[in-house]
Each structure stands twice: as structure tokens, then as C-alpha cells.
Amino acid sequence: MKNQPPVEYGKFYHIYNRGNNSENLYLTPDNYSYFLSLYDKHIGVVADTYAWCLMPNHFHLLVRVKDEEEVLKDLNLTGFKNLSGLVSQKFSNLFNAYTKAFNLREGRHGSLFERPFKRIEVTNEVYLRQLVYYIHSNPVKHGFTDNALDWPWSSYLTIISVKPTKLNRDSVLGWFDS
């Protein structure tokens, strides 16, 4: 499989992946919730999240990798150098932790996610807006629901809510002028 470009500090990315052979990644609501808790634990320290959607056999994320200094401070790694692979390692840790738990629960073994995880650098605001729409409309596109409001495993309901969140809702709403 072709290598993906390195994930760089301070940049926006569309990150996505699917199960090996399009196998389902999430079988129960607990699976979705557990993935999100691991996501917060592993990725929240290295990236800010703007949109996400989990579907049975794949997921999409819109993230901005934090600046290197912020990551070093958040991880209490001041003084370390050459941390170019840290962000990719954090994603690897997420996928490995989830896979171990999923395999234990389902009595399976082996990898669950395709490797490497896919990412596309987001280089302009037009693409950011298109990507937010694409991510939130993905369950409709794939026939899991008729309305994005009805899909509980995306950030769409969080975007339109007023409840406190770690999601960068204000930035997203600003891209759409409301």
C-alpha cells in the first residue's frame, strides 16, 4: 500500500479509514461510544476536531493538528526534539487500542483497520466547508438514514446544539456565517 504523506503540525486534515475488506468497525452503540472515548484520549492531545462521522464500516474526521509547541506542552514533553511521527503514532495507538478491545469482545483476532489511515490536507476554506457538509451527509449518502439529523454517530447534532462541547463548533459555524 502506498504511503500517505506525513501529518504535519498546524495543518487541517480530512482523516478517514475503513475496516479491512469493508468489515464493520462498530457493531453496537457501545462500540461507537468506546471508539469516541479512545479518540478523545489519544487524539484530543494532538489535534482539534471540527467534524466527525462514524458509520458501521468507516469513519471521517476533520481535524487541525495542534502546533508543535502546544502538543509538547499538553503531553509534558518540553525539551524533546524530532517528534515528526508523534501525531501518526497517536492515531496508530487509537486504532490499536480499539482493535484490541473489539477483538476481545467479538472473539476475533488480527487487524481491523486498513493501513495506513488515509489523510488529505485541507488547504482552503472552500474545501473546509465542503468537507463539513460531506462528513455530515455521509450517512445519508450511504443509505444509513434519510436525514443527517437522525444519525447519532456524527458531530452534526453537536454543531447545531448549544451544549458545551470539545468540538470547535464556533469555528465551523463561522465558516458558514451562522
List per-residue pLDDT tens for the chain, 178 residues long: 467 777 889 999 999 999 999 999 999 999 999 999 999 999 999 999 999 999 999 999 999 999 988 887 777 765 555 566 888 889 999 999 999 999 999 999 999 999 889 999 999 999 999 999 999 999 999 999 999 999 999 999 999 888 888 888 888 988 887 6
Q: b or e along 30-47 (b: 16 or more beta carbons within 10 Å of the residue's beta carbon)? A: ebbebbeebbeebbeebb
**In order of start, what are the domains of the chain with their CATH numbers?**
12-175 (3.30.70.1290)
